[in-house]
Amino acid sequence: MAWVYLCIAGLFECAWAIGLKYTEGFTKAVPTAFTIVAMIISFWLLSIAMKTIPVGTAYAVWTGIGAVGVAILGMFLFNESKDILRILCLLLIVTGIVGLKLVSKGEA
């Protein structure tokens, strides 16, 4: 179950990172509230996952999900580069996330 919490925490990391863009420096109330709630949920789920998943693995997976998710969302929401090398680099991060899961001594 810890891995499920960790993956959901990573998705909420994507939500709050994208939300930051919409807060315009925390000057817009609704996006700011959404972002803060997403941050709290993300950190809370990460902390639950870290009860059984090693801290280094959990943090790397959490940030990896966030980095890949935000980069992909940025391509579609903000018309960021869809260059093939950028996509290949994102696939390397995904490979690392999967590799960490496969070699993890934490909860299966």
Q: How many CB atoms lie within 10 A of CB 95?
A: 11
Q: What is the pLDDT of residue 19?
A: 97
Distance CA 48, CA 5 (A): 7
Residues 6+ apart with CB under 8 A from 49: 2, 3, 5, 6, 9, 58, 62
Mean pLDDT value across residues 40-63:
96
What is the band of 7 on the pLDDT scale with cuts at 50, 70, 90? very high
> Which comes out higher in pLDDT, residue 107 or 44?
44
pLDDT for 32 beyond 90: yes
pLDDT for 107 beyond 80: no
> Which comes out higher in pLDDT, residue 47 or 100?
47
Residue range 58-92, pLDDT digits in tens: 999 999 999 999 999 999 999 999 999 999 999 99
What is the band of 106 on the pLDDT scale with cuts at 50, 70, 90? low
Q: Quote the Cα angle for 69-70-74, to 5°.
A: 120
Q: Where are the alpha helices (DSSP H) in the chain?
A: 2-23, 29-49, 55-77, 84-103
pLDDT over 90 for what percent of the chain? 92
